[in-house]
Amino acid sequence: MSTLDVAGEAARSQFWIWWAMLAVAVVVALGVFALWFYTFRRRQPPPRTPHEERRIMLRWVLGGGIALPVASILVLLVFAAPSGRGMLPLPDDDAERIEVVGHQWWWEVRYPGEEGERDVVTANRLVMPAGEPVDFRITSADVIHAFWIPRLGGKRDMVPGRHSTIRLTADSPGVFGAQCGEYCGAQHTHMLLHVEALERDDYDAWLEERRASTGPGDGDDGALEAFGEHCASCHTVGGFPEELVVDDLEHGVRGPDLSDIGSRPTLGAGVLPMEEGAIAYWLEHHQTLKPGNRMPPHDHIDTETLQAIGAWLETLQP
Amino acid sequence: MSDDKDATLTPDIRHLHRGMAEVWANPRGLGALTVVNHTSVGLRFMVTGAVFFLIGGLLAMLIRTQLAFPDNDFMSNEIYNQVFTMHGTVMMFLFAIPILEGVAIYMIPKMIGARDLVCPRLSAFGYFCYLFGGIILVSSLLFEMAPSSGWFMYTPLSSGDYSPGRGSDFWLLGITFVEISALSAGVELVVSILRTRTEGMALHKMPLFAWYILAMALMIVVGFPPLILGSILLELERATGMPFFEVAGGGDPVLWAHLFWLFGHPEVYIIFLPGAGIVSTLIPVFARRPIVGYGWVVAAIVIMGFVSFGLWVHHMFTLGIPQLALAFFSASSMLVAIPTGIQIFVWLSTLWLGRPVMALPMLWVAGFLVIFVLGGLTGVMLALVPFNWQVHDTHFVVAHMHYVLVGGMLFPLIAGLYYWLPLISGRMPSERLGRWSFWLIFLGFNTTFLVMHWTGLLGMRRRVFTYDSAMGWDLYNLISSVGGFMMSAGVALLILDVALHFRFGRKAPQNPWNADGLEWAMPKPPTPYNFVSLPRLETRHPLWDDPALPRTIDEGRHGLNTIDHGRRETWGSDALTGKPREVVHLPTNSWWPFFAALALAVVCLCLLARLYPLAGVATLVAAVLLLRWSWENGAHPRAAPDPTVAPGQPPLHSRTLNGPGVWAMSVSHLANGSLYLSLLFGWFYLWTVAPEWRMPETSPLSLPLLAAAGIALTLGTAWLAGLVRRLDRRNDTGLAGGLYLVAGLGGLQSALLGLAIWQAPLAPTETAHDATLLVALVYVLIHALLGGLLCLLQGLRVGYGYVGAEAPMEPVVVLRLWYYNLVVYWTLLVSVWLLPTLLGGTS
Amino acid sequence: MKRLLRLTHPIHVVSGLVIWGLWFVAIYAGLSVACSVAPPESERDMLTGINVGVGLATLATTALLLWLSWASVAAGRKATLRRECYFAYLSAGVFLFSAGGTLFVGYPIVFLPPCL
């Protein structure tokens, strides 16, 4: 998560700007402190005429109070401020476009399809091509969140009703942490996103795999039925049989798309690592693991059913 | 006055002292609630602020305990969110601003040679609003219903959908209530500084502290209304569903961010300026020479005051505003480095050219310098947009803002506390305990927050209730927590020192620091009337140029040294030259401020409990109380029925046409205008920017009705202006009738406007367009009603003989309101009717 | 009212910053409105009418403030009262700061496109 462990262009320019600014700041601060303490340590100052005093004062104020800050901020404005240009989504047809939508408290990630193709939708895991600029088009479904991959570059708020685009580049394949940067309520802390940069070919293959996968896979009928009854009104699974969905809730809340949940590295936006049985455990204890999250408690569902659902969901990986 | 001193005075002067003490007496017991004197009210502000500081500090310790270790379960996430929200809210709104207002209220009249502020009852009213609002807000913690959306309450998180509890309501109502006190203090500080300086104190001879407070007060007056408006709109959204900040209804959550930071950034400077004012007061005293570059400092203050309004967006760099617009705000944020640099180097060169001594207050000033310079430097870094994107909302920002606020405000405040304690209590604090507490607080502070910059750079966000050990933040957080507890030990020692000194401190000499300021010419502890006689001053350093001043003031050898008239008096002087123009007679102790504030507290509680009809009744009661309060003015028997003044003195201010009351009305309209402009900003902002804004093809408002109302208003204003012109020539024939006529026109305007609102097909809960329109129209309707009502009361007062050719000021004050209404009404009509009609609806 | 127009009156200590503030509001509001009404194509980067317009407004405002600064110095030289002289020089300094501030804040138009 460290901004100083840089893995991308935007983060790198800020890394150098930070160290340069720090160096100048330390020199300025030490200079001011030294002057201050010297004025107290000095022996009796020589007697001066008011005219001399005025000249000394002017020298200090013009030099320290005006020239110093003016020079510093001019340097900042002329050399450092343009470094933000790199994150501008200036027209570039080649840039890969990925849409990220913030929800309380999870991430929806969409890979828009070409005409006629359907979007690939996943959650809490972002896979991006490495070594090329990627335009993230971001927005929010509820409150203000912020999309931030510290090792790649600065953050951008996700504002409901607005879309904004931020361009980031990962130097080489790797795994990065991302987190919600704007306080968004009870579980702001547990709103983490797993980011993976892949070589272009691997990325294309990964995306193709998801676009091609069609069905909910094999599971015992009990699990599918239970999912349709308890989960399907909020959660989508690609190709899930329509007739099994029991939608008896009136609400505007939407949960993460689960089509490829078995392949995701974490559960609950970074709360639990994905291992065998983790989903069932999460389904049973999610309100203790992540109190206040939007999924209602499952006290009315018996453990076996939850385990069946969990076991089936774990098979969902393209 | 102590008895031993009394013995050296002649009987005449003893009589004068006794008379002053009687006229300016503060009642005890229950009657203490009626006290309006600035010394008492200022002290109350400071003590209450200190209590809230302790509450805020306790919350900070809870936060540091929770974060001391990874995966800590000391607090649940819900409680933690309430705690950090309340920590920020209490420190900013209930500690920093009020306590600095308290210092200003307490010190300003003493420094400029006045006996009280111009609107003493307003000070008392402000205090009670602050007290009640603060209690209401903090009580939410006890009910575990505290706000939990962070101290800047971003919508939609704080709105009804995502914060259904009462937390946000506590915040919005409590803070708005507290802000009444800030505004009232702001208004009267401006007018007091400009219009009640002692004889001869020209504008450029004022103590620098007064310049700082003047800037602060004006910034409060202009800077607070945007947040008040924002709070009203958000509370309306929560209570009735008007979609100001809701995208689907045509609102925009970013509007809240704009309104909040339009207030929020100037607020930082509102806090910093008095702190810097204390530093500028102390440094020359301990450098034992006048400050060099007085003019440079004044220029720096003025520049800061203005530029700080041009950088609110630097809190919103990540919100997705175009980069070029961000760059403007980034550049203007960097500009602030220049006035800051000027001040720091003026202080340094003053020390360089003087013979500085290191006394306890100076130790705190040194702490200020170190911490504030570091905070300023990280501030310049944060002004750089691309870097800001990385560290925004991380612990780097938390560290930065604590450096700026604690360095820029708390350290100077404690320096000032130690410097002025002998004045307040007449005793000297302990040097040894003071040093211990300094080092504990200074080192504790830096231990907590210096390392926190690094934690932030390592990616730790603010407002997370816990973190994973794998992140590598454990050690830094533990260090921060240890430092935090060190700092609180220092605060405990500080309290101990101050408490002990009242009992054990040695008696302070007349001028313990050998200072130049007029406040050291007063008796210690201060009498409510400050000075028995008001000296004529031609110098910026009264006590250095005339060390005998304390004695000659005490012997009544200067101005306004009579008391047999039984009035509380101070000079009303020319804003520029300081030449006395009027004798200002000040109101005495009164119950009205207390009861008016109490009624408003009831309004606040009723709104919280969603008992709207009851809130309406309480609002009416509050209005009646406030108007009843305004009744005791001018030639009223409880004000100044007898206009005679000593020979050679200028007239009483209520017998002139340009007294401080007129200025107070003008400054209030500055605040009111800022509220109105914020509303217009909201209208145009939503119109141009909100993604789902819907405006009907033709305006829903009836032009004939609106135009007729406008004509009534214009006629009324013209007529009232005519009446005032005649009063200027001391002619009050037909005054009462004229006032009734104008009141009638005000009533007509209100009726027509009310009809226009009633017949317009508005659906304020459906679209932000209709909601904003309704709020704007209700705003002018309230003003129309107020204009009419005040004229009606003036007409009655003419009948009672309280207003007339001999006491002509109040109609002038009311005329200002009518002028204001006139401008607001027609500009509003242009904005909500003409422009939409010309440019066409649907956007 | 006439004496308020003389550059020796203390009101001019703030008038330079008021002009700066009006200019600031004008370019920020103008930019926002222009971007929502007629956003230029992003290919044009910073070579757009909006940048040119903001640039001209910036230069004109800077020139006005520089002139006022110079005029204040002249008024201060001619002033007879010490107070008038004092405030004229003070205003001159603030006018000069405002001029520099205008140029400084307007500068980013040379490296950033307006609406992205």
Domain-wise residue ranges, chain A: 9-85, 96-212, 221-314
> Is C97's Cβ below 8 Å from some Cβ in B?
yes
Strands (E), B465-512: none
Whether residue B428 has pLDDT greater than 70: yes
* Contact predicate A67/A108, CB 8 Å: no
Average pLDDT over residues C101-105: 94
If you compute the radius of gyration of chain B from its CA atoms, what whole number of angstroms results? 27
- Would you say the CATH fold of A221-314 matches that of A96-212? yes
> In the numeric block, which tokens belong to residue B837?
């009609």
CA distance B282 to B367: 13
Q: State the smallest CA–CA distance between residue A82 and chain C in angstroms.
A: 7
| Residue B841 pLDDT | 57
* Contact predicate A121/A108, CB 8 Å: yes
Q: State chain B's mean pLDDT as an integer.
A: 93
Residues 6+ apart with CB under 8 A from B334: A73, A76, A77, B380, B383, B384, C104
Whether C27 is covered by a domain: the verdict is yes
Cis check for the bond before B650: say yes or no (omega within 30 of 0).
no
Cis check for the bond before B156: say yes or no (omega within 30 of 0).
yes
Average pLDDT over residues B240-266: 94
The pLDDT tens digits for A147-204 are 999 999 989 999 999 999 999 999 999 999 999 999 999 999 999 999 999 999 999 9
> Is A64's Cβ below 8 Å from some Cβ in B?
yes
CB contact under 8 A, A77 and C107: yes
Whether C79 is covered by a domain: the verdict is yes
Average pLDDT over residues B405-424: 95
Q: What share of chain B is helix, strand, coil (3-state, %, to 5)?
A: 70, 0, 30
* Contact predicate B336/B310, CB 8 Å: no
CA distance B579 to C65: 33
CB contact under 8 A, B688 and C32: yes
Q: How confident is the model at residue A84 (pLDDT cuts 50, 70, 90)?
A: confident
The pLDDT tens digits for C77-87 are 998 888 889 99
Q: Which of B293, B459, B466 shows the shortest C-beta gap to A2?
A: B459
Counting Cβ atoms within 10 Å, is residue B507 exposed (0-12), middle (13-18) or buried (19+)? exposed
CB contact under 8 A, A90 and C45: yes
| Residue A212 pLDDT | 83
CB contact under 8 A, B386 and A84: yes
Whether C26 is covered by a domain: the verdict is yes
CB contact under 8 A, A82 and C112: yes
Say if strands A192-198 and A125-129 run parallel, antiparallel, or are unpaired.
Answer: parallel
Chain A residues touching B411 at Cβ < 8 A: none
CA distance B477 to B468: 12
Whether residue B70 has pLDDT greater than 90: yes
CA dihedral B748, B751, B756, B760 (to 10 degrees): 180
If you measure CA to CA, which chain A residue comes closest to C109? A82
Query: How many independent structural domains does chain C possess?
Result: 1
| Bridge partners, residue B392, by sequence | none
Q: State the smallest CA–CA distance between residue A155 and chain C in angstroms.
A: 16
> Is C6's Cβ below 8 Å from some Cβ in B?
no
| Residue B3 pLDDT | 43
CB contact under 8 A, A32 and B344: yes
Q: For residue B492, which of B413, B435, B437 has the smallest C-alpha distance?
A: B437
| Residue B4 pLDDT | 46
> In the numeric block, which tokens belong to residue B398?
């938390």
CB contact under 8 A, B322 and C35: yes
- Among all chains, which residue has been given the structure tokens 């009734």? B740
Domain residues for C49?
Answer: 11-37+44-110
First to last CA, chain C: 46
The pLDDT tens digits for A45-81 are 778 888 998 999 999 999 999 999 999 999 888 888 7
- Among all chains, which residue has been given the structure tokens 């892949």? A198
Domains and CATH numbers, chain B: 6-23+39-504 (1.20.210.10), 694-843 (1.20.120.80)
Q: How confident is the model at residue A248 (pLDDT cuts 50, 70, 90)?
A: low
Q: For residue C101, which of B344, A71, B336 has the smallest C-alpha distance?
A: B336
Residues 6+ apart with CB under 8 A from B640: B567, B585, B634, B652, B654
Q: How confident is the model at residue A114 (pLDDT cuts 50, 70, 90)?
A: confident
CA distance B64 to B62: 6
Helix (H, G, I), strand (E, B) or coil at B382: helix
| Bridge partners, residue B586, by sequence | B568
| Bridge partners, residue B559, by sequence | B534
Select from 2.60.40.420, 3.40.50.920, 3.30.2010.10, 3.40.605.10 the CATH code of A221-314: 2.60.40.420
Q: For residue B130, which of B191, B41, B68 has the smallest C-alpha distance?
A: B41
Whether C66 is covered by a domain: the verdict is yes
Chain A residues touching C113 at Cβ < 8 A: 88, 90
CA distance A172 to A197: 7
Whether C4 is covered by a domain: the verdict is no
Q: Which of C89, C101, C115 shows the shortest C-beta gap to B335?
A: C101
If you measure CA to CA, which chain C residue comes closest to B309? C21
Whether C115 is covered by a domain: the verdict is no
Cis check for the bond before A105: say yes or no (omega within 30 of 0).
yes
If you measure CA to CA, which chain B residue comes closest to A49? B353
| Residue A266 pLDDT | 93
The pLDDT tens digits for B570-609 are 999 999 999 999 999 999 999 999 999 999 999 999 999 9
CB contact under 8 A, B307 and C86: no
* Contact predicate A125/A264, CB 8 Å: yes
> Is C4's Cβ below 8 Å from some Cβ in B?
no
CA dihedral B95, B100, B102, B108 (to 10 degrees): 180
Q: State the smallest CA–CA distance between residue C30 and chain B in angstroms.
A: 10
Whether C2 is covered by a domain: the verdict is no
Residues 6+ apart with CB under 8 A from B229: B259, B675, B678, B679, B682
Residues 6+ apart with CB under 8 A from B90: B52, B55, B56, B59, B137, B138
Which residues 660-719 in chain B show a CB within 8 A of chain A?
A: 690-692
Q: Which of C93, C101, C116 shows the shortest C-beta gap to B322?
A: C116
Whether residue B843 has pLDDT greater than 50: no
CB contact under 8 A, A91 and C42: yes
* Contact predicate A90/A107, CB 8 Å: no
What is residue A47's DSSP assignment? P
> Is B252's Cβ below 8 Å from some Cβ in A?
yes
Which residues 33-52 in chain C show a CB within 8 A of chain B?
A: 33, 35-37, 51
Q: State the smallest CA–CA distance between residue B359 and chain A in angstroms.
A: 11
| Residue A219 pLDDT | 67
The pLDDT tens digits for B131-154 are 999 999 999 999 889 999 999 999
* Contact predicate B748/B715, CB 8 Å: no
CA distances in angstroms from B833 to A179, B697, B704, B706, listed in the order given: 46, 12, 12, 10
Whether C19 is covered by a domain: the verdict is yes
Residues 6+ apart with CB under 8 A from A215: A238, A239
Whether residue B447 has pLDDT greater than 60: yes
CB contact under 8 A, C116 and A81: no
Q: Which stretches within B161-207 are classed as H helix? A: 167-195
For the ranges A131-135, A160-164, B635-639, the lowest mean pLDDT is seen at B635-639
Counting Cβ atoms within 10 Å, is residue B439 exposed (0-12), middle (13-18) or buried (19+)? middle
Whether residue B719 has pLDDT greater than 90: yes
> In the numeric block, which tokens belong to residue B843?
């956007």
CB contact under 8 A, A81 and C104: no
| Residue C20 pLDDT | 95
Chain A residues touching B407 at Cβ < 8 A: none
Residue B385 phi/psi, 5-degree rounding, is -55, -55
Q: Which of B162, B341, B366 shows the shortest C-beta gap to A69?
A: B341
Whether residue A2 has pLDDT greater than 70: yes
CA distance B35 to B591: 8
Q: How confident is the model at residue C45 (pLDDT cuts 50, 70, 90)?
A: confident
Whether residue A303 has pLDDT greater than 60: yes
Whether residue B2 has pLDDT greater than 60: no
CA distance A95 to B123: 62
* Contact predicate B201/B572, CB 8 Å: no
CB contact under 8 A, C108 and A77: yes
Longest dimension (CA), chain A: 99
CA B124 to chain centre: 14
Q: For residue B658, which of B108, B194, B104, B124 has the smallest C-alpha distance?
A: B194
Which residues 21-40 in chain A show a CB within 8 A of chain B?
A: 21, 25, 28-29, 32-33, 35-36, 39-40
pTM of the predicted structure, to 2 decimals: 0.95
Run of H or E including A110: strand A106-111
Q: State chain A's mean pLDDT as an integer.
A: 89
Question: Which CATH code fits A96-212?
Answer: 2.60.40.420
CB contact under 8 A, B380 and A73: yes
CB contact under 8 A, C90 and B295: yes
